[in-house]
Amino acid sequence: MHTSLALLLELGIVLLALSMLGAVARRLSLSPIPLYLLAGLSLGEGGIAPIPAAGEFVQTGASIGVVLLLLTLGLEFDTSELQHSLRRHFPSAVADLLLNAAPGVLAGWLLGLNWLGVLALGGATWISSSGIIARLLGDLRRLGNRETPAVLSILVIEDFAMALYLPILAVLASGGSWRQAVAGVLIAVACLAAAFTASHRWSHHVNRWLAHPDAEQLMLRVLGVTLVAAALAELVDVSAAVGAFLIGLTLTGEAAERTRTVLSPLRDLFAAAFFLAIGFAVSPTDLLPVLPTAMALAAAGIATKFATGWLAARRDGAGSRGRTRAGTILVPRGEFSIVIVSLAGAASATLGPIVTAYVLILATIGPVLTRWPRSRTPRTIVERQHKHVADEDPPPLPPAPRT
């Protein structure tokens, strides 16, 4: 088998560069995500050091990366906990839609886009990046925090909502009728409901088969099933991330713990490819003309997502620091916004550059903002389920008696 010399050389250089960027981020106590995104911007088409031979590998790895990120996020929860949280936070999801789609719809109208462009821009400003947020929750050790179920509920409802939104946008962008769009939505919703029911009812059977004592068998089985579930989800116009998340919910107990251990290095590798690929999608020369518009949208997006997270965390009784963490963690936009603009980019010549610049700004600024409200050592999930203490600073100790 002949292996491209350029491919090996470029991949080797990229991995070494990512290693150095990760070391710098750790030294500064930051998430490496912003540095990976900027690296992707410099290595993509139009960047200072493009890597054409490795570009296809990075794009493929990005698809696997977001699947693995959502799989490992699903491992932290179970279906009963998720169902309770989803019911509790449906009003938060409605507020999320109204607050965050509005800036995109208003901007599209002011820019003179047609109705399809307005619909696409509203969706791009609405949806958060599940992949980036999943990585941040792990990096910042917030999976056990009190506000995390609220954040997760918003993300999952957004991902489920994409099962309604994306088929409609895809059909209308291709010139199809509303009848075809509604048919696609009904099929996607039916398949999603069936998958969620199966994950809830028969998870113990799937868990028993996947939890093989041999680490290699465990990795192959979990990875294989996850990729098949992700592919089936994409087939019915549901996000691959949703399919991977449902597989993560299926695994519990020791099987979930062993899966996290086995897949963590693989997840980190492909997650880096995912963050690089977002930067690849942006050509620096296309950013300058639309930068003022993108920055204004980004400022509005930070404010509206912060309000969304604050309201959702308050419903769970989180304190002010927990609400602030929930608000800042939801800021990044990413994979879904890129998918939306790829479907409807033909609606306007400026739509694609605006959305990609908007995504790059918030995907870079968002992880930095999450460092603002520092958290204490997080409680475990078990502690979170049994303790209902508001996440505020502890009261001061009483003064010592005078002698």
Q: Which comes out higher in pLDDT, residue 86 or 40?
A: 40
Q: Where are the domains of the chain?
A: 11-383
At 337, the pLDDT band (50, 70, 90 cuts) reads: confident
Find the helix packing angle between 203-210 and 178-201, rounded to 10°.
70
Q: Poorest-confidence range of 59-68, 135-144, 178-187, 303-312?
A: 178-187
Residue 136, pLDDT > 50, answer yes
Residue 394, pLDDT > 70, answer no
Tokens of 20: 């150095």
Q: Which comes out higher in pLDDT, residue 292 or 77?
A: 292
How does the average pLDDT of the chain come out, rounded?
Answer: 79
Q: Give the residue from 214, 277, 284, 213 showing the smallest Cα distance to 64.
A: 277
At 161, the pLDDT band (50, 70, 90 cuts) reads: confident
Q: Poorest-confidence range of 57-71, 78-92, 150-164, 318-332?
A: 78-92
pLDDT tens string 32-42: 878 888 888 88
- Work out the burial of residue 291: count CB atoms within 10 Å of its CB; fewer than 13 is exposed, 13-18 middle, 19 or more buried: middle
- Quickly name the fold that domain 11-383 has: Na+/H+ antiporter like fold (1.20.1530)
CA distance 359 to 128: 10
Q: Which comes out higher in pLDDT, residue 285 or 372?
A: 285
